[in-house]
Amino acid sequence: MRLGIDTGGTFTDAALLRGDGSVFVSAKAPTTHRDLIVGVSTAVDRVLTAMEAAGSARSQISSVALSTTLATNAMVEHTGGGAALVVAGFDPGAVERIDGLASAAHVIAISGGHNAQGREIDELGTDALVAEIDSLAKTEAIAVASLFAVRNDAHERAVRSLLARDPKTAHIPVTCSHELSGRLDGPRRAATALANAVLTAPVRRLIDAFERSVREAGVDAPLVVVRSDGSVMSLGHAMERPVETILSGPAASLVGGIHLAGVQDAIIVDIGGTTTDVAVVSNGIPEIVDDGATVGGVGTMIRSPRIRTEGLGGDSEVGWDEHRGVLKVGPGRVIPLGAAQVRFPQLNDLLQAQASRRIVSETDGLFCVTPDGELLEATTAFSTRREYLAARRRASAGELQFVALTPTDAAWAAGLVDRDSFGSAFDQVASKSGLELFAATLGRFGVPRFESGQDAARSILAEVQHRTGSVIASAVGVPSTVWTETLRSQELYRVGVQLDRPIIGIGASAALHHPPLASLLGTDVHIPEWSEVANAIGAAVGSVRMQLTASITSPKRAGFVVHRPGVTTSFETLDEAVEEATDRLIAQLNARHRSSGLEVREEEVQISIERHDNSVHIDGADFFVECLLEGTLTHAVGN
């Protein structure tokens, strides 16, 4: 059996799968943002308890996989460990083009680098680097990027060796850009290496805690982490390359959706507490981002599915745009009124008191929970708008939480929720009171926003459906002008969209919000059984995938050069160079797999080599530019 665990914005999910891929048991626990492992431990304990109650032993678990939003959130929120970036051979203009420099504790530029043929263009500035050792010693991780390191990685390896020899920096993890990508584009490679260094400390802390939690629960099985492309990697690999987990959570959901749906062509729509993620799947394979994932404004070279993300979830804050006089949902996440009522029984009385005052305020129906756990009315807690905005910033940093009306409240009030299947306690009395207050609040022209709370609930749910439809339409390439016309009422005609494949809805509230998409987008909508834990299922079914790239150029009219992996070597013919590069890829992929600690039979490992020849057409003739070989090792983790 395989155990999958996913830490999402609202819930941490766990799912245990049989050898045939069917779900045996699952469990949910609230995600504990201050200490993620608390939620992980609770979910693991619940699923193991259910497993043993069903007559199975913990020893039957063959692997445990973790998917997480930690790296994604750290990049979006610009948090993470203190990291330094060392660049060799980059001119000032190239340094300025590196995304995410603001997250670096130090940026140190030294001489060095190579040209496009792999020849050294300047001596490595080791003296300048030694002069900065004291500054580097104060950081948690170091990233190194050298000009054209994918053609010759000697300077990056030399910097790492120098840092490893100095006792002040020997203990600090070092990321070399050539190990993360074999593609050209120095600034983007440097940004990827820096992101990896920034994420090293927080991801290592999570993985250490994850390992302790699972081992203390009595599970002795290989542990793996979901990568951004939906495959899995060993804990050691994840700690060395945490940047490869930046889209771990959404990728696991996508893999889980494909597994549950059992179809080859579909649109996977995953609604969580904070966001809605959409991906298009053809022939069982999701679209892939060719340029690499961009997260938090930082462009990386990390391979990932093409996932459209909208700040729209079950816990999105519902508000009102006074200027335009329209409803707005998200992108901020809050605690739903109904969930807060369980914890604070006085909440409904406070809502009723606000409704009786009928004083129009943008903070009506809004509350905050202080770090000490006290519930405060926003109308009285913040005497000025400046204090209110400061509190909002504190909430973004996780220092306090807001409580407000959400789509989950609207769904409960509309009677759409099956109480027995909901993942946590909820009291819809506060939801209904909040909706009545929201509906009756007067606009700037003295007119109530909605005729009733139920009318407000219907409008909120319709807004969620239209916004979700818009993301799907964008994902499949529907022009925005066409989509706008589909939402307009016309007397004599109707513009509609009909998709060529079904929508597979997953996520805790998919059954509440996704079925109406069928008429909106002219296709079938399926909500598979276990869709509420699809992310954990995706983690469990993921397979190992390791990739390395080799590059070959022809710097002279005769001769071909293998630049990586391994030492730079010249050959007379392209076929000889390709044969040598292929042998190197296979050898290094096998070596990396053996060192990963993952137990698997040799016959289950598969290695494929994909070749791409790049040439330019000039004056009627083709000129060779580069040959890239991408080696991929795959295998299933185990049943």
Q: Which sequence spans correspond to the domains of the chain? A: 1-59, 83-201, 317-459, 542-636
Q: What per-residue confidence (pLDDT) applies to 597? A: 59
**% of the chain at pLDDT higher than 90:** 21
Dump strand ranges (E) for 472-542: 503-506, 525-526
Question: Contact 323/306 with Cβ under 8 angstroms?
Answer: no
DSSP letter for each residue of 435-475: HHHHHHSB-TTS-BSSSSHHHHHHHHHHHHHHHHHHHHHHH
Question: Contact 615/625 with Cβ under 8 angstroms?
Answer: yes
Paired sense of beta strands 621-636 and 266-271, if any: unpaired
Q: What per-residue confidence (pLDDT) applies to 75? A: 62
> In one letter, which amino acid is 516?
P
83-201: which CATH topology?
Rossmann fold (3.40.50)
Q: Is the pLDDT of residue 405 over 90?
A: yes
Nearest CA to 537 out of 1, 4, 2 is that of 4
Q: Is the pLDDT of residue 107 over 80?
A: yes
Dump strand ranges (E) for 313-400: 316-321, 326-333, 335-336, 367-369, 375-377
* Band of pLDDT at residue 184, cut at 50, 70 and 90: confident
Q: What per-residue confidence (pLDDT) applies to 37? A: 77
Report d(CA 561, CA 150) in Å as an integer.
13
Report d(CA 538, CA 223) in Å as an integer.
15
Q: What per-residue confidence (pLDDT) applies to 377? A: 86
Burial class (CB in 10 A: 0-12, 13-18, 19+), 150: buried
Q: Is the pLDDT of residue 231 over 60?
A: yes
**Mean pLDDT (whole number) for 416-424:** 69
Peptide bond into 502 cis (omega under 30): no
Nearest CA to 487 out of 504, 513, 467 is that of 467
Helix (H, G, I), strand (E, B) or coil at 575: helix
Question: Contact 521/501 with Cβ under 8 angstroms?
Answer: no
Nearest CA to 460 out of 308, 610, 350, 313 is that of 313
Q: What per-residue confidence (pLDDT) applies to 565? A: 80
Handedness of CA 169, 170, 176, 180 (dihedral sign): negative
Burial class (CB in 10 A: 0-12, 13-18, 19+), 456: buried
Q: What per-residue confidence (pLDDT) applies to 525? A: 93
> In one letter, which amino acid is 129?
L
* Band of pLDDT at residue 324, cut at 50, 70 and 90: confident
Q: Is domain 542-636 in CATH 3.30.70, yes or no?
A: yes
Report d(CA 365, CA 338) in Å as an integer.
12
Phi, psi torsion values for 268, nearest 5 degrees: -90, 125
The lowest-confidence range among 62-66, 148-152, 597-601 is 597-601
Report d(CA 37, CA 204) in Å as an integer.
12
Q: What are the structure tokens assigned to 278, written together?
A: 């959409």
Report d(CA 105, CA 128) in Å as an integer.
18
Q: What are the structure tokens assigned to 314, written together?
A: 């079950």
Nearest CA to 16 out of 34, 49, 354, 38 is that of 49
DSSP count for the chain of H helices, then E strands: 21, 29
552-557 contact pairs (CB < 8 A, 24+): 552/577, 552/578, 552/581, 552/626, 552/627, 552/628, 552/629, 553/116, 553/117, 553/118, 553/151, 553/625, 553/626, 553/627, 554/624, 555/117, 555/118
Q: What is the largest CA-CA distance in the chain?
A: 88
Helix (H, G, I), strand (E, B) or coil at 612: strand
Q: What are the structure tokens assigned to 164, written together?
A: 């490893």
Mind listing the pLDDT tens digit for each residue in 439-463? 888 766 667 788 888 999 999 999 9
Report d(CA 388, CA 377) in Å as an integer.
11
Name the residue with tokens 């500054």.
135
Name the residue with tokens 């709370």.
453
Cβ neighbours, 10 Å, residue 597: 13
Question: Contact 86/159 with Cβ under 8 angstroms?
Answer: yes
Q: Is the pLDDT of residue 166 over 90?
A: yes
| Per-residue three-class SS string for 65-107 | EEEECHHHHHHHCCCCCCEEEEEECCCHHHHHCCCCHHHEEEE
* Band of pLDDT at residue 579, cut at 50, 70 and 90: very high
- DSSP state for residue 120 in the 8-state scheme: B
Helix (H, G, I), strand (E, B) or coil at 409: helix
Output the CA–CA distances (angstroms, integers) from residue 75 to 21, 81, 303, 312, 522, in the order listed. 33, 11, 16, 19, 37
Name the residue with tokens 């969930």.
339
Report d(CA 472, CA 312) in Å as an integer.
13
Q: What are the structure tokens assigned to 389, written together?
A: 């905005």
The lowest-confidence range among 369-378, 389-398, 499-508 is 389-398
Q: What per-residue confidence (pLDDT) applies to 90? A: 92
> In one letter, which amino acid is 387?
E
Cβ neighbours, 10 Å, residue 19: 12
Helix (H, G, I), strand (E, B) or coil at 26: strand
Q: What per-residue confidence (pLDDT) applies to 460? A: 94
| Per-residue three-class SS string for 47-68 | HHHHHHHCCCCHHHCCEEEEEE
> In one letter, which amino acid is 244?
E
1-59: which CATH topology?
Nucleotidyltransferase; domain 5 (3.30.420)
Output the CA–CA distances (angstroms, integers) from residue 97 to 77, 100, 115, 293, in the order listed. 20, 9, 19, 17
Output the CA–CA distances (angstroms, integers) from residue 408 to 253, 313, 427, 461, 525, in the order listed. 20, 9, 11, 9, 20
Q: What per-residue confidence (pLDDT) applies to 423? A: 61
Q: Is the pLDDT of residue 638 over 70?
A: no
Q: Is the pLDDT of residue 595 over 80?
A: no
Report d(CA 431, CA 411) in Å as an integer.
9
Q: Is the pLDDT of residue 375 over 60?
A: yes
Q: Is the pLDDT of residue 79 over 60?
A: no
**Mean pLDDT (whole number) for 396-412:** 84
**Mean pLDDT (whole number) for 410-415:** 88
